[in-house]
Amino acid sequence: MALTLRNLTQNPFTIKTLETFEDPNNAQSKSNVFPPDSRNVAQHALSFHHENLDILVKPFESFMLRAKGMASSGKSIRSPSIVMRITIESDMGERHRIDTNPLYTQKSSKPFTNLIHNPSRSYTALYHPAKPVAHLVVHTNHLHNYARWMESLPSNLPLSALSIPGTHNSHTHYRGLPSVRCQVSSIKVQLENGIRFLDVRVQPSHATDTQKKDLYLVHGAFPISLTGVKYFAPILETCYAFLAANPSETILLSLKREGVGSATDEHLAAILENHYIAPNPSRWYTGNRIPYLGDVRGKIILVRRYDIQKPSTPLSISSKTSSSSASFPVAACGLDATEWPHNSTHAVHGPFCVQDWCEVLHPSSIPSKLQYANEHLIRSSQTTAFIPGVNTDDKNPIPPGPLHLNFLSGSNFWNKGTWPEKIAKVVNRGIEEWICMGHALEEPVVAIDEPDRARAVDVECAGGTTGGTLRRKAKGGDGGTGVVIMDNVGEGGDWDLVGLIVGLNMGVLMAMHAIGTGL
């Protein structure tokens, strides 16, 4: 019986002891990965084995633990009531403990038990039942205030250095067709739970008159709600209110024209500029270069997926114009995302490096989608950000690298097996498992195309007859994710994937500290 332990915190900890026992009060322990805490092992355990390990696990590293000694006591090491008790010690000398059943078949999460009163740090265990070796991630993501998680990040970080959770077709949370609905939570709830990239598709209500400011919310050719037309303006009001309450944050807003109307991109551009951006210039970042976090706190960053008419010199906007081709200053163009190759597994365009393989035509193609998304996470994790005053000149810094955008979404409207919910169920879980046991490791514990399965070398190690360990070290780069854009995130109150993405900002923070201290 084996369990792989991963450190996804900013600080090292030491695995002090591994205790293995069969708990008669936990005979049905396969129904709960974290059995009730047994305070007195001598009273509750039928058999017991204790190992002093003293194994240092650095940030990002993983370690495989194998139970040994149980067979000699006559108890099967595959018994469903076997419990592994792991005690870790923080770099502050404080001990924490978790009891877990590595044969449990469902994902689960639980806080560590603190073994001292009022510790300076607390930990959470996130368990996944990979085959045949389960894994448990130690993290501190429960400490974040997800309404303002950017607050603790330095302002000199370029946006492309951050790990940012986002949603695809963020506005499609209403009661709608299952082939159209991509989200289960409102924009407000998404933002409060850490989402900072919103993907919104709109269609002008009038095809020629730019004085008609209403923009319908759509998904492809379809309306997003079965209960009536929904509009763009309330989304902006939600974003404005959120940023006013949380001025440390920024929101990337991707806007694209879709739907069956005859309006043009230039028409949409004029409406957005006249009625939404120009009246609130302090609330928007419309530059065409990747900004630094300090420059965009409290602002919406425009990610433009529609064409504009670019004048040779900046033109002012007439409030009386009704032309669908009205021009506006090129300074208001935003981050240009108009030329992404369609259905690409990897493309670099302007300020973006994108994975958006979206034509998942058959359920048999879902594993390919997962593989492409994980490969893009590898690209992002291997990058190193140029941070003014840290590893590039403060006054004349090397420009920020491209922003990695990783769409986990895909669909085929005409195949029920590839509707957004079906794909998200597989891909979101696979990405979560990859982040836990593959991301930013020299040798991932799991396979890139099947994150729920261990690599062959780990299977061999786990099947040994004697106790042992297998270490995985962190890989080069900052270990970030870029922007990860999801469907159906938060379903059933499960925001673990968002927490893991936000937590991976630890990599760039650790790099800044290491450079600053000369380590």
- Dist CA 125 CA 92 (whole Å): 19
Q: Cα-Cα-Cα-Cα dihedral of 199, 148, 501, 85, to 10°?
A: -150
- Dist CA 288 CA 302 (whole Å): 9
Residues 6+ apart with CB under 8 A from 356: 340, 343, 344, 347, 405, 407
Instruction: Give the model's pLDDT for residue 447.
Output: 78
Report the run of H or E that residue 7 belongs to, with start and end: strand 2-8
pLDDT > 60? residue 373: yes
Mean pLDDT of all residues in 169-192: 97
Please check whether the two domains, 2-143 and 149-440+475-517, share a CATH topology. no
Instruction: Give the model's pLDDT for residue 323.
Output: 36
Place of tokens 């780069």: 477
Instruction: Give the model's pLDDT for residue 471.
Output: 82
pLDDT > 90? residue 57: yes
Instruction: Give the model's pLDDT for residue 132.
Output: 78
Instruction: Give the model's pLDDT for residue 1.
Output: 80
Q: Which two tokens stand for residue 485?
A: 């854009």
Residue 219: active-site member? yes
Better-scored residue on pLDDT, 313 or 354: 354
- Dist CA 478 CA 384 (whole Å): 5
Residues 6+ apart with CB under 8 A from 361: 412, 415, 418
Paired residues of 14 in beta bridges: 56, 89
pTM: 0.91
Q: Are strands 62-66 and 335-336 parallel, antiparallel or unpaired?
A: unpaired
pLDDT > 70? residue 301: yes
pLDDT > 60? residue 462: no
Place of tokens 């034509």: 359
pLDDT > 60? residue 58: yes
Taking the CA atoms of the chain, what radius of gyration do you get in angstroms?
25
| Mean pLDDT for the chain overall | 88
pLDDT > 70? residue 418: yes
Q: What is 149-440+475-517's CATH number?
A: 3.20.20.190
pLDDT > 50? residue 415: yes
Evaluate whether 387 touches 399 at the Cβ level (below 8 Å).
Answer: no
Predicted confidence band at 123 (pLDDT cuts at 50, 70, 90)? very high
Instruction: Give the model's pLDDT for residue 318.
Output: 34
- Give per-residue pLDDT as tens, 145-164: 999 999 999 999 999 999 99
Instruction: Determine how many CB atoms are found less than 10 A away from the CB of residue 350.
Output: 16
Phi, psi of 76 (to 5 degrees): -70, 130
Choosing among 3.30.530, 1.10.1740, 2.40.50, 2.60.40, the CATH entry for 2-143 is 2.60.40
Q: Which two tokens stand for residue 172?
A: 């499609």
Residues 6+ apart with CB under 8 A from 516: 390
Catalytic residue among 128, 168, 376, 404: 168
- Give per-residue pLDDT as tens, 5-29: 999 999 999 999 999 988 665 554 4
Evaluate whether 411 touches 418 at the Cβ level (below 8 Å).
Answer: yes
Predicted confidence band at 210 (pLDDT cuts at 50, 70, 90)? very high
Triad 84, 86, 89: Cα angle to 5°: 180
Comparing 120-124, 170-174, 381-385, 456-460, the range with the smallest average pLDDT is 456-460
Instruction: Give the model's pLDDT for residue 312.
Output: 45
Three-state SS at 206: coil
Mean pLDDT of all residues in 87-104: 95
Q: Domain limits of the chain?
A: 2-143, 149-440+475-517
Instruction: Give the model's pLDDT for residue 316.
Output: 36
- Dist CA 109 CA 100 (whole Å): 10
Helix pair 420-437, 366-381: axis angle to 10 deg: 40
Catalytic residue among 96, 171, 219, 376: 219
pLDDT > 90? residue 296: yes
Instruction: Determine how many CB atoms are found less than 10 A away from the CB of residue 156.
Output: 17
The sign of the CA dihedral 186, 189, 193, 197 is positive
Percent of the chain at pLDDT exceeding 70 = 85
Instruction: List the one residue out of 430, 438, 485, 429 whose CA is nearest residue 458.
Output: 438
